Each structure stands twice: as C-alpha cells, then as structure tokens.
Amino acid sequence: MTSTENEPTNSVELQLARDTLGPFIDAPTAQLFLPQARQIPQAAWEIIRKVLEKNPQAREDVACLTKLLAEESQAALDLNVADLGANDAAEPSGFSLKPAERLPLTDKCHHYTGQHEVPWDIQKYFSQRYSIFSYYDDGVHMTDDAWFGVTPEPVANQIAYELSQDHYDPKKTTLIDAFGGAGGNTIAFALSERWERIISIERDADTLACAQHNAELYGVDPGAITWILGDSFDYVDKLVNSPEKLHPDLRVDLQTTMVFASPPWGGPGYRTDEVFDLSTMQPYSLHQLHEAYKKMDHLLFLPRTSDIRQIAKLAPEGQKLEVIQYCVEGASKAMGAYIPGDISPASEE
C-alpha cells in the first residue's frame, strides 16, 4: 500500500502529523499510524517522533515501536496501538484529556528582533507586532504559524471588555477559549478578571508553550487559566456527551459556561470575495463550529466579510443575533457573532 493510500483524507490532521514527525513520517511504522491521525493528539505524535529518533529499529519494527512507546509515556496509550497488533490498553487514570503542564519554549518558538530574521510570509505581521502584543519587546514568543491567527491586542481587549460589561451575565462564570493560539484572547480574558475559570485549548504543543510564556509575561496569575493540549471539538464533545472521560479539573457546568471561538480562516474566496461564504471556510465551516458549541452561548470570531445571512440563520426562533465589526485604526479586522446556546438556564425556585 502506498503512503498516499494510507494517509487520512483530512488534510489538517495529516499536516499536523507531517509537521511533528518531520523526516520520520516516511518511516514504515509511522505510516501505519496515519489512517488513525484524526484520533492522535499532538502530544502523542511528539512521543512517536522522540522514539523514532532514538531507535532506528522502531522505524521498521511495529512490535519494537509499540513497546518503546508504552515505556516512554502514558500518552502513547491514546494511539490505539491495538490496531497495529498490540494489546488493548487504557490510561490508568481513565481520562482522555487532562490539564496541560507548563511546557518549555522550543526552537519553534521565536522572538524575532529584526525584519531580517523574519520569514518573508510573516513580515507584514511582524511590522504590526506592537498592535498584536504591546509587550512584544519584553519577550513575546510565537511560532511562525501563530502570527497568522493571533487577535490584535486592542481587539482582544475590546472583546474581553464587552463580555465583562455589555454582555455581562452573572450566571456565566466559565469561559472556554476554543482556539487559544499564542494567547492573545486568553490573556485579555484573564486580565479582565471577569471569569472564575478560563479554559484555553490549543492543539499544537509549541504554540501552547508560547501562550503559557506570554501569559506569564503579561502578569497573568498562573492559576487563572487551565490549559489543554488538544482539540477543542474533542473536548466539547466529551464535555457534553461523556464528561466522565475528562479529568475533573476540565469538567464544567454547561449552563454557566460560554465559548469563544476564533478559528483559522481559510478557503476559496476568503481574501477576495466581497461577501465570504462561510460554508466554504476552511478548515472548519460555520456549520461545524456552531454544531460543536451550540449547547452553550458562544461568540464566533469570523472574517470581516462574512455573509451575515448565513449567521442570521443561527438565531433561535423569534430572536435576533448581535453581530459586531471589530476595527483597528478605522479598518475592519473581523466580525464577532454572539449566539445563544441551546441549553436553557435552570428554572429559579
């Protein structure tokens, strides 16, 4: 079977595997994991790479690889190694998602000091670095990919302000930042002191390390944010349907929780269409986002040219949605749509 036949159809999941495994993605044993890429978290890919780097035999021998994975870390138990001929195993804790530990900065976490150091495709963003992070010169770190998705600090602060003032609901005490990135929005939410709990989710370990570092740089209380290294769709699905699979620190009351989602923006026409069709947004469409988070109130942070008619269809019957254009120096940067959740507040006695 060719590597192409083995590869998952989801290009986002495959790219995650490629980015993490690097040259070891062509190893015969690594190829066997690719059809399961949708179920394999970033942390597990990193363990696979570590084992393949250390032991050449593991690149060819499945039994050797699975044995070393089990020895290396309990995270290897998430890899469904039984499908490769190993025995079924379960994490001793029984939890498929746990709070992330403090991660160290890696060689993919950069603090560029001059444009001569910056890759050409992010030089435009580097020139705007102080509007992205006003503390940039104090040591803000980002991965190269994070530059494309970070919310400018004035916009992040405005969103945090609105959720603490204009859209303040005392029943909502927990906020989930579904796409934490390098920490821009998460930091603003924490500094607003509005929330009793903030859960920030990021699927890339290097980017999460940057976010944790940047939050410390901004003086955020280390206990103010619970970090998750994982996929927000997976987390919310378990939160709604099987919370017993989550570590107790990750279980929250849906009625007192809201979601902020600033997904990657991409797809045909994203930069060129006067009105952007959100059904074509990649890697996640408007429908995918809403279906995932609809049990809770959620704020979707979308491209500025998003089709308002598509957003309006998400309004509960008889209600209107509030949609806001966020601007920096007079130029629209993004659109925010506030959407009520399906779960009604508990009736008061």
Is a pLDDT exceeding 70 seen at residue 181?
yes
Q: What is the pLDDT of residue 38?
A: 64
Q: What is the pLDDT of residue 220?
A: 95
Comparing CA positions, the residue from 206, 258, 233 lying closest to residue 100 is 206
Q: What is the pLDDT of residue 90?
A: 37
Which pTM does this prediction carry?
A: 0.72
Tens of pLDDT, residues 155-178: 999 999 999 887 778 889 999 999
Most confident of 10-19, 204-213, 314-323: 204-213
Tens of pLDDT, residues 280-293: 888 899 999 999 99
The first and second tokens of residue 243, run together, are: 């919370």
- Per the DSSP assignment, residues forming a β-bridge with 335 are 302, 325
Q: What is the pLDDT of residue 317?
A: 84
Is a pLDDT exceeding 60 seen at residue 75?
no
What's the rounded Cα separation, in Å, for the pair 235 and 97? Answer: 7
Contact, 281 vs 198, CB < 8 A? no
DSSP summary character for residue 173: -
Ordered by start, the domain boundaries in the chain are 3-84, 115-339
- Per the DSSP assignment, residues forming a β-bridge with 326 are 334
Read off φ and ψ for residue 280, nearest 5 degrees.
-105, 0
Q: What is the pLDDT of residue 89?
A: 39
- DSSP assignments along 260-326, one per residue: EE-----STTTTT-SSB-GGG-SSS-HHHHHHHHTTSEEEEEE-TTB-HHHHHTTSPTT---EEEEE
Tens of pLDDT, residues 224-256: 999 999 999 999 999 999 999 999 999 999 999
Three-state SS annotation for 34-96: HHHHHHCCHHHHHHHHHHHHHCHHHHCCHHHHHHHHHHHCHHHHHHCHHHHCCCCCCCCCCCC
Q: What is the mean pLDDT of residues 190-215?
A: 95
Q: What is the mean pLDDT of residues 102-108?
A: 94
Average pLDDT score over the chain? 84
Distances in Å between the Cα of 129 and the Cα atoms of 161, 204, 328 are 22, 21, 13
Question: 183 versus 19: which is more confidently predicted?
Answer: 183
Report the percent of the chain where pLDDT is more than 70: 85
How wide is the angle at C-alpha 119 spanned by C-alphas 114 and 121, nearest 5°? 120
Does CATH place domain 115-339 in 3.40.50.150?
yes
Contact, 32 vs 62, CB < 8 A? yes
